């Protein structure tokens, strides 16, 4: 069976300029190629395979590349080398407010996210009530999302991510921003998606990949 996600010898390099000009004037006067460029390898020769219907946690110290790997899986960044293949519709909750247009309401952002994922308006209309019930943000649902607090942002973001019929769900530690009651609600919902009864497994993992179908 073809894996949901295949990562083969993937590396990701960022170029860091250590002597960036501090002003436009300095940049114009210098008129030379930037000096002090250095390479930072966020990932190097990473290989893994995640089968369909499985749950995969990423564990490691700060700066070990967990978020970078999730962003590569989501298609936000491209690997510098290696091959990465994702087989399925991806929904990602990686950064607070990622995928939301700040000037649009929560309701409008739901349909925007659905369109990006290739879902029809009818499919999203069926999901709206579930998203409203799960997020519990009340009247703020029809207000521009830019006015929402961090906690309400997370509630809406998580509700949308898990109710747009994803085949692959990527989650970063953004859920930690929510209050304890909502974190528990999120864990219970994730447990129901992956059909396990060991909540401690999820409580210890902040970066995760859920291959649901």
pTM of the model: 0.76
Q: What is the mean pLDDT of the chain?
A: 82
CA 47 to chain centre: 20
Q: What is the pLDDT of residues 137-158, one digit of tens each?
A: 888 889 999 998 888 888 888 8
Rounded to whole angstroms, the Cα distance separating 131 from 177 reads 19
pLDDT band at residue 11 under the 50/70/90 scheme: very high
Q: pLDDT tens digits, residue range 168-194?
A: 888 887 666 667 788 788 878 877 777
Q: Which pair of tokens denotes residue 63? A: 């700066």
Residues 125/98, Cβ–Cβ less than 8 Å: no
């Amino acid at each position: 069976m073809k894996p949901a996600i295949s990562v083969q010898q993937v590396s990701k390099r960022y170029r860091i300029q250590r002597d960036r000009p501090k002003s436009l004037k300095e940049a114009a006067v210098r008129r030379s190629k930037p000096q002090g460029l250095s390479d930072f390898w966020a990932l190097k020769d990473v290989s893994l395979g995640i089968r369909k219907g499985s749950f995969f946690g990423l564990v490691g110290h700060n700066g070990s590349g967990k978020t970078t790997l999730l962003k590569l899986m989501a298609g936000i960044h491209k690997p510098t080398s290696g091959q990465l293949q994702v087989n399925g519709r991806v929904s990602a909750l990686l950064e607070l407010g990622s995928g939301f247009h700040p000037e649009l309401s929560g309701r409008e952002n739901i349909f925007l996210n659905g369109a990006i994922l290739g879902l029809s308006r009818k499919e999203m209309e069926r999901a709206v009530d579930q998203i409203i019930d799960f997020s519990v943000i009340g009247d703020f649902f029809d207000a521009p999302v830019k006015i929402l607090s961090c906690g309400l942002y997370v509630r809406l973001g998580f509700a949308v991510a898990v109710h747009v019929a994803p085949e692959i769900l990527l989650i970063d530690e953004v859920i930690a921003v929510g209050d304890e009651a909502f974190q528990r609600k999120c864990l219970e919902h994730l447990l129901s998606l992956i059909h396990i009864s060991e909540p401690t497994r999820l409580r210890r993992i902040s970066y995760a990949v859920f291959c649901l179908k």
